[in-house]
Structure formats: structure tokens, C-alpha cells
Structure 1
């Protein structure tokens, strides 16, 4: 049992600040919150916090851990004048170059860096066309070794091998769901990882692939995680080849429900957004990635009933992502204020609740003990009514002091419980080999 003493409690939604409070944790659950709990739990391990902020864990709602070794990439990349050429010249070459070793270190490094930045959970979307079978188990291994909660899935597509590739991608998703189901009675650490059914995007998944994914959905009970309308091409392709909007195609195959996660969605129609809302699906908004890829801006954010923040592979610093999402929205003339983006940060926990079937996102008895601890010293009063302003203009990942996931201190006093430099050294060697593989494709 762990007792956090003298904390400042921060709830995102509804916004709330409570000073001088304790949190008692038993196993992977919060069992009590209140003042002066030491007498109630005399045998607990006590961690004095001296007023540090304790908040629900930060969730990255859309990421690509396979891109973890692409930072500063030195492989020759042809000019990329548009989004499709960026996919073909960079990302689709990178994912084809991945093997078991490079994927393992990519996933492990991304897990460690997510924790270091205060993230307690990441929803991943994976692709490695030349290493499909067993790839998701490799990513799961990295999540568990780091202590990070997460979800992952394989990016079903036909862009490299047609029907055979589609079948292999769907099979990997199903096999991984079965692996997860087989571990439900294991320790909380073994239960840290869940899954979606992955697909790249409507323009690289023909109807045969959507049919297979629909069958996998019925078989596994999992939801779809897919990019949609990241670029205008996805919409044009759907109209040209199928005579319908991309979201309508997904609904046609019964692929929309409350576990569905749609990434980007910059160019959807009002009818498509209404469809997503009707099915209680979630948008993963990735502001920095959209800016980097020059694909446009999602002016329809206020229309989504449920939207969460993701990074699309640009790390997992959710403090940074919230700032960019907020400031880009203001730059685009949007009506939302920082509190709306703090709500989106909170909504990542709703995604976890829907997929892990346990409560997340509140500092209250019965909730999962995924917590981020920050030593933020503010020069102005910190109140519930200005909490979002502190996130937008003050708090950042440099304030992350400790991270608790499933009741375990996986990052304490800015230190991991194991040596990480050897991991980074091996990752650098794996990255060099990965880049060489890219040059040979």
C-alpha cells in the first residue's frame, strides 16, 4: 500500500483543486482520498509530496511508436511536396524497414519518454509491413518493461501486398486480441496493454479489408482505430472509388461504435461528424502533426461530442500538445478557450474506460491509480476556474516529478527504477541499421 501525503489534488473535468490532501493506494486502485489518512493506513509506504500537484494520468490518444527511431533521420529522403509523397518517401519506407530489433527499441524508447513527460497511457497505431506477425507482442513487451499503460493495433492496409497483406494485418489484430484475453487473470502489470483493430486509412483499405475488419470486430469485441481525412485526398478517393463519404463507408460495414477512434478527420462533412457523434465515436486531434504535414486545420473541433488529444508520433508530451492545439485553434480564429482543450486531455481517460472496463480520470476512491505528479510553483493563484490557463501558459513537462501507473511508482523523483542509458545506446545502434535499411528500399 502507498500513501501520498500532503498533495495538491488536480482534477481536469470537472476542474477542481484541493490542497493538503492525502491519497491512499492499494494495488492498482485509489482506496481513499482525504486529509490526515496516516492513522487509517499506518502500515502504508508513505511518500511526502509537500504540496506537489497530483493529477489523473495524462493520456496520448493517438501515437505511432514505430516512428521512435526516426528523430533526426539521416536516410536520403526525396522531396515531399505534398502529404502523399511524404507518406511514400518517408513513412512508408520507414515502416517497411522495421524488423524485430528496431521495433523493440523504438517501442521501448517511446514508452520511457512518454513516462518521463508525465504520460501514463498511450494509444498506439502500428505499421511494419515486412514484420507483421508478432509485431504487436513486441510493442506490448516494451510497454510492460517500461511500466506504461497502453493500447496498440496493426495498421491493416493493401498498399504493399494486396489481399494477402490485408489478411495478414487483420490476423495480427485478432491474434493480439486473443493474447490480451488470455492474460486477463494475470497481475496488473501484465494487464497494462489493450488493443484496437487497426487500419491505415480508407484510401488504402478496400471494401474487402473493411469486411474483414468488421468480422474481426464481431469476433474480438474491439473497436476500430483508423486515420480518416488527414488529407483531402482521402475524401476525394472515397468519392471517386466508392461514391460516398469515408465515414459513411465505415458505417456501412458496422465499424462505428463507442470504441471507434478516428485520427485527424480534418476534412469531414457535417453529416460525417453527426454520424460519429451518433455512434459515440472519438476524434483524436493531432495539432502539431497536422501543422508539420501541412494538411490543413480542423475548423470543426467544436462540433465533436468527444475529442481527445494525440501526437501522431511526435513524442508523447501532452503538456506541449495541449498548448499547440490551443494556440493553433486561436490562430485559426476558433472560438474555443483553454478549458476546452483541458477537457480534451481529460477525454483520453474516457477512451481508457471504454477499452479497459475500469474507471480512470478522477482522484477518488475506486478509480485506477494512474497519476502524474508535478512540482509546479506558480507565481499566481491556482484555482479551479483558472486551471486551464495554467496548463496553456505555465505547466510543462519539465515539472513532472513522479509517475504512478496501476499503483506502481514507475518514475520517482525524476528517475526510473532501472538504468536507461544502455537502452538508449542500443537504440542508437538499431536506429543506424534502420536508416541503412531504408536506403536500400
Structure 2
């Protein structure tokens, strides 16, 4: 047992701030929260927090680890005047150029950087059309090596190889979910990585693909993770080809439920929003990505019951993502205050609960010991009523001191327990080869 002594215990939903709290962790769980726990557990080891903030781990609800080696990319990229040309000229070339080596370094580096920025979990969405089989297990190895909790899936699509590519994507999703089931049994339920059933977007999914995905969801018991209405093109395509809204089409295929994660959703109709709310699905809002891709602003956040925050591949700094989400909302004339965006940040833990079958997101006995520890000295009072204001206007990833996942310190006193210099060196070499392959496509 480990006792984190004299912490400032911060919770998100409902917001609370309590000073001088001890948190006892045993195995993968929090087992007690209170005062002077060393007297109750005299044999336990202890670590003095000196008043540091201890809070539930941060979750990035939508990411693309395959973009990990795209930072400062030096490939020849044609002009991208709209969303579809951005996909075709940049991202769909990058994902076709991925091989097992570049995928591994993308995954492990992104996992390490997520932890360093305070994340205890990331929900990933993957694509590597020329290296589909086994790709999700390569990503899982990166999560595990870094010690990060997460989920991943393969984005099923027909954009490169028609039905054959669709079938391979679905097969990879099913095979990975089955591998995770085996891991759960072998580890007695204590494991780090879960599975979604992935798909790119409705505009690259014919009806045959919808049917394959439904069979995969039913077979594995997992939920769908898919981009929808990231750009108005997705909506226009659905109206033109199928005569309905994209969420309606997904729902008619039986693919919208409590485990469904919809990324973006900028152009949803009232009917679609009602469907998501009725089915209990979650929308991942990615403010910085939407700004970067110039696809517009989601003005319907207030109408959705379950909204989480993601980055869509722009790192995993959730402090920064919350700030951008809030400031962009205010700039667009939105009515929400920082507390609503702190609730969205918390919603990532609800996604984990739905998929891992465990309790996340609170400092209480029986909850997973996934924790973020901050070294933050505030010049103003820090209390429940203004906690969200501190997140929006002050707290940032430079305050991350330590991260605990599944009861283990994976980042402690601003350092990883393992050497990472060689990984970064090899990642730089792999990135150069990846960019060269992109230019050969």
C-alpha cells in the first residue's frame, strides 16, 4: 500500500477542493481517502505531497497516435484549400506511408507525451492502410511500455481499396477486441488497453461497410468510434447518396448506443442530436483541430448531453485543449462558462467506465488509482466555486508533477522511470523515413 500524504484533493464532478487529505492506494485501486491514514495503515509506504493537487487522471477522448511523427512535417504537401484536400494531400498520404516501425514510434512517443502532459488515458483512432493487420497490437505495446491507459481501434474505410479494405479493417478490429478479451482473462481484469470498433466517417462507408461494422459490434460487445459531420461535406454526401442525415444512417444500421463515440459532429441536425441523447452516445469535441482544419465551430454543444474533450491528433495536452475549447466558445458568442468545459473534461472518465467495467474519475475507495498530481501554487484561493476558472486561466501542463496509472507511478517528480532518450532519437530517424515515403506516393 502507498499513501499519498497531505494532498490537496481536487474532484471535477461535483467540483470540490479539500486540503490536507491522505489517499491510500493498493494494487490498482484507491482503498481509502481521509486524514492521518498512516495511523490506520502503519505498514504502508507513504509519499509526502506537500499540499500538491491530486486529482483524477485526465482523459483525452479522441486522438490519432498515427500522427505522432507528423510534427514539423517536411514532406511535399500540395495546397489544401478545403477539408477534403487536407485529407487527401496530407493525412491520407501519411497514413498510407506508415509501416510497423513508424507506427511503433508514433504510438510509444505519443503515449509518453500524453503522460508528461498529465493524461492517464487516451482514446485513440488509428489508420495505416498499407499495414492493417496487427497494427492495433503495435499501438497497444506502446501504451503498455509507457504505462498509459487507453483505447484504440482501426478506422474502417473503403477510400483506398473498396470492399477488400473494408473487410481487412473490420477483421483487425475484431481480432484486436478478441486479443483484449484474452488479456483480461490472463490478467484477472487488471489491464491497460481496451478496444472500440473503428470507422473513418460515413462518407467512406457504403452500406456493406455499415453491415460489417454492426456484425463486429455485436460479436465483440464493443462500441463504434467514428468521425461524423466534421465538415459539411459528410452531411451533403449522406443526403446525396443515402437520402438521410449521417447519424440517422448509423442509427438505422444499429450502430448508435451508450458505447458509441462520435468525433466532431459540427453539422448535426436536431434529429441527430436527439438520437445521440436518446441512445446515450458521447460526442468528442476537438476545438483546436476544428480551428486548424477551418471546418467551422460546433454551436450545438449546449444541446448535447454527453460531450467529452479530445485533440484529434494535436498532442494530448488537455489543459490547453480545455482553454481553446472555452475561449473559442466565448469568441463564438456561446453561453457556457469554464465549469461546463471542466465537466466535458471529466466526461472522458465516464467513457472509460462504460468500456473497462470499472470506476474512474473520483478520489474515493473502489475507484481506479489513475491520478494526476500537480505542483501549483496559486496567488488566489483555490476552491470548488472557482476550480474551473483556475483550469481556464492558470493551470497548464507545466504544473504536472506526477501521473499514476493503475496504481503505478508512470511519471514521478517530473521524470519517467525509464530512459526515453533513445526512443526519441529513433523516432526522429523513423520520421525522416516516413516523410520520404510520403513523397514517393
Q: Normalising by structure 1, what TM-score?
A: 0.99
Change (3 A) 1:407 1:189: farther
**Equivalent in the alignment of 1:178:** 178
Query: Residue 93 of structure 1 aligns with which residue?
Result: 93
CA RMSD of superposed structures (Å): 0.8
1:43 & 1:206 partners in 2: Cα distance? 60
Aligned-pair distance for 1:189? 9.8
Give the Å deviation of 1:186: 3.4
1:188 deviates by 7.8
Q: SS where residue 39 of structure 2 aligns?
A: coil
Cα distance in structure 1, aligned partners of 2:189 and 2:128: 26
Query: Equivalences for 1:209-228 in 2 at 5 Å?
Result: 209-228=209-228
Unpaired runs of 5+ residues, structure 2, are none
1:112–1:188 distance in 2 versus 1, CA, 3 Å? farther
Q: Is 1:387 aligned to 2:387, yes or no?
A: yes
Corresponding residue for 2:259? 259
Task: Output one character per residue of 1:135-176: Cα deviation in whole Å (capped at 9) or x when no partner.
Answer: 000000000000000000000000000000000000000000
- Aligned equivalents of 2:234, 2:272: Cα separation in 1: 14
- SS for the counterpart of 2:186 is coil
Distance 2:318 2:189 in 1: 23
Conservation of the 8 A alpha-carbon contact between 1:210 and 1:250: yes
Aligned to 1:249: 249
Please tell me whether the aligned partners of residues 144 and 189 of structure 1 are also in contact (alpha carbons under 8 angstroms): no
Matched residue count: 441
Consecutive aligned runs of 4 or more in structure 1 exceeding 2 Å deviation: 185-190
TM-score (normalised: structure 2): 0.99
Please say if 1:106 is aligned against 2:142.
no
* CA shift digits 1:407-426 (9 cap, x unpaired): 00000000000111110000
Counterpart-to-counterpart distance in 2, 1:223 and 1:152: 11
Separation in structure 1 between the aligned mates of residue 406 and residue 201 of structure 2, nearest angstrom: 33
Q: Tell me which residue corresponds to 1:271.
A: 271
Match of residue 156 from structure 1:
156
Q: Contact 1:155 / 1:169 at 8 angstroms: preserved in 2?
A: yes
Q: Quote the offset at 1:41 in angstroms.
A: 1.5
Aligned 1:39-438 pairs, distance under 5 A: 39-187=39-187, 191-438=191-438
Determine the C-alpha separation between the residues in 2 that align with 1:27 and 1:51: 24
1:43 shift after superposition? 1.9
Which deviations, in whole Å up to 9, do the C-alpha atoms of 1:94-121 show, x marking residues without a partner?
Answer: 0000000000000000000000000000
The CA deviation string for residues 349-399 of structure 1, in whole angstroms up to 9 with x for no partner, is 000000000000000001000000001100000010000000000100000
Q: Secondary structure at the match of 1:312?
A: coil
